Amino acid sequence: MRLIALSALGLVLATAAGASELTPRQSHSLDLGPVRGSAYYTVEKDGLRVVATLAPTDATAATPLRVITTLASDQVVSFSVPGTQDGAAASVAFARRGNRVEVASTGY
């Protein structure tokens, strides 16, 4: 399972529209087309805690969504937004590499 997750991240990073390293407690903007938001991470005793807040760009839409996960070494978590009929899906992945978190996005 771990190998599959690492392979998937490798594919995301290889085709990423934007890939970068996060800094602890510093916000990073996320743009998944119809959904936008920000993410940051903190160093906790049991791992690196990633917090992402996402909201539809339509001002009349639903309440924002917050996702929190704690990454152990070499773990990956990703979020995606389905594509429209004529558009590709968009995704963002967070990967822990040692004591740092990398973020990569595809799509929009």
Tell me the pLDDT tens digit for each residue of 3-15: 444 344 444 444 4
- 43-89 pLDDT per residue, tens: 999 999 999 999 988 866 678 899 999 999 999 999 898 877 777 78
Q: What is the pLDDT of residue 25?
A: 92
Which pLDDT does position 48 carry in this prediction? 96
> Domain map of the chain by residue range?
2-106
The two tokens of residue 101 are 């978190």
Nearest to 106 by CA among 87, 86, 80, 84: 80
Residue 39 and residue 29: Cα distance in Å, rounded? 7
Helix (H) or strand (E) holding 14: helix 2-14
Instruction: Say how many Å lie between the first and final Cα of the chain, rounded.
Output: 28
Q: Is the pLDDT of residue 108 over 70?
A: no
> The pTM is what?
0.75
